[in-house]
Chains A and B, each alone.
Chain A
């Protein structure tokens, strides 16, 4: 497909374009709303972007490897509710957190097992998991929201250190860490390699199965992390949380320049993409623009930003 033809070394260049777009958006809204460029608002936005951001990390890697994970929202809810139920049963909050993370990891492992080991199509498997896990959430707690967690736990989602939200700091650290992994380690070479040409990677004697498996495990883990941060921020674990979050995550990743057919993309791009959509949404909210138009604007942006870049790359 034409996707393979444009493998020019445009990565750095692309990032500049995205930064410029982000800059344009920020300047634009600063003019339009006096509340936009204030410290409280920016901290606010940072606080809100964490869940999508955390999931975007493994999603970027998975898309680079040429697959996709649509079950992240359900994994998020599943882990959050598992954690909530564990806490309700009288377990220590941090042990409950670990149970939540393990639940996410388990979901990721199931995805990974079916997709990597048995070479099933990622999209269908994760759609199946999306439906099933969301259902299991209702089975576990009959759809009641769970709340009443101790204050120490809310530290993660509601507190500020040096004026910056704790969860945003965590997100940035995670991004830096993952960025390092994706730039400097062999693991990243394999991920890009699988996305570009799986056969070659396999013939080089590298276990594609294992790499894929790890990627989906990561996705499960980060979705669970996002779930826990969400509970900490909202003080409540709900059955409906994370519905449709996969669309936000994928949109951020794509605006960030990751190629949908795999092989190309970067975490720094995703981070900028993430900032673009959260600032856009925040700015439009501040202006009181109805969500209907927000959806249209987001769609148009996606077409223009991503579409044109692709068009340009040819």
Chain B
């Protein structure tokens, strides 16, 4: 039991269960298979983007540009499709654009050593401008039937996007836990200078992480476009960065880097998804939805912090 409580994610697991119970009591519709599938389905984009954001935050950075990268990628996929390019090729090209955006971020952050928040704040403006610019102000919509598969298709009995998300999550959990790249990310975030002294190429690892993030956002945006069925370049993914960052930190990550896990982040995303869905399902007044969401986010963080205090009790000094 004690060992269970010491699991890094214990508080957020408990809190999620608590919130779930609360919503189940408030509304009988909440704890239905149908609804659970809905919650997962609504948050696929978040899940995938959050994987990248977790790695970035583990490095001690943050990426404010994910929403704009999503907009650029989704818009360009829409453009490719409207020119009659085959859905699979269009999707692949879209993902390449995501990777390209990640390379831009990575170049400035890792190679030019400009602080990540500045770079991503800047690219947030730039990519958004490009997205709206190439869209010409119109919506990307009326996608061909073949493209919809990415957002709505079924594979082996589960929905295709969920399938992709599960595979990606599994891959990255493995990468972060058992491969050299993953351990390097942790060590750079935990203690940069030490990692450098240990012979780890900080530049290369950082660059890789941003490129991977771009790749993940690219995949997410294809699913996003196929699922929602229309893309408005000026607003697609606005607010995504903050939301995903909150999910990572709720899931036990630390903004200072070095602490956090992919699994925890996924819980964080799930938590946010449950809150957003549950508040509407239990027919809370629309005016209260945002207020309640914010309150629950803060509560989740309070609980996380309590856990950290508990774990650090007895250790020397204060905790950050």
Contacts and interface: CB of A to CB of B under 8 A. Distances in A.
Interface of A: 1-3, 70, 114, 118-125, 127-136, 138-139, 142-143, 202, 247, 250-251, 254, 259-261, 292-296, 298-300, 302-303, 306-307, 310-311, 314
Given A131-B297, A260-B115, A303-B119, A296 B290 contact: no
Interface residues of B, number: 48
Interface of B: 60, 62, 108, 112-115, 117-119, 121-126, 128-130, 132-133, 192-193, 242, 245-246, 249-250, 254-256, 287-295, 297-298, 301-302, 305, 318-320
Contact of B60 (A1, A130, A295): A1
Contacts of A247: 121, 124
Contacts of B119: 303, 307
A298 B115 contact: no
Contacts of A261: 115
Main secondary structure of the interface of B (DSSP, over half): helix
A138 B291 contact: yes
Given A296-B130, A303-B108, A307-B118, A123 B255 contact: yes
Contacts of A142: 287
Contact of B113 (A133, A138, A295, A314): A314
Contacts of A135: 287-294
Contact of A120 (B122, B245, B289, B302): B302
Contacts of A296: 125-126, 129-130, 133
Nearest to A74: B294
B302 A114 contact: yes
A120 B318 CA distance: 12
Contacts of B288: 135, 139
Contacts of A120: 301-302, 305
Nearest to B124: A299
B254 A119 contact: no
A143 B287 CA distance: 8
Contacts of A254: 118, 121
Contacts of A307: 108, 112, 114, 118-119, 122
Contact of B132 (A259, A292, A310, A311): A292
A295 B71 CA distance: 14
16 contacts: A1-B60, A1-B193, A3-B115, A114-B301, A121-B256, A128-B246, A128-B297, A131-B297, A133-B291, A138-B287, A139-B291, A261-B115, A294-B129, A299-B126, A303-B118, A311-B112
A287 to B, nearest CB: 16
Nearest to A202: B318
B105 to A, nearest CB: 11
Contact of A302 (B121, B130, B132): B121
Main secondary structure of the interface of A (DSSP, over half): helix
Contact of B293 (A125, A132, A295, A298): A132
B294 A128 contact: yes
A124 B246 contact: yes
B24 to A, nearest CB: 23
A1 B191 CA distance: 9
Contact of B291 (A70, A136, A292, A302): A136
Contact of A306 (B118, B128, B132, B250): B118
B196 to A, nearest CB: 10
Contacts of B292: 135
A300 B127 CA distance: 11
A198 to B, nearest CB: 8
A124 B294 contact: no
Contacts of B128: 295
What are the nearest 9 A-B pairs in CB distance? A132-B294, A135-B290, A135-B291, A299-B125, A131-B294, A296-B129, A299-B126, A128-B297, A128-B298
Given A132-B298, A298-B125, 13 more contacts: A114-B302, A118-B302, A118-B305, A121-B254, A130-B242, A131-B294, A292-B132, A293-B129, A294-B129, A295-B125, A303-B114, A307-B112, A307-B122
Given A121-B301, A132-B290, A303 B122 contact: yes
A148 B55 CA distance: 50
Nearest to A110: B298
B194 to A, nearest CB: 12
A310 B294 contact: no
B301 A132 contact: no
Contacts of A138: 287, 290-291
Nearest to A134: B290
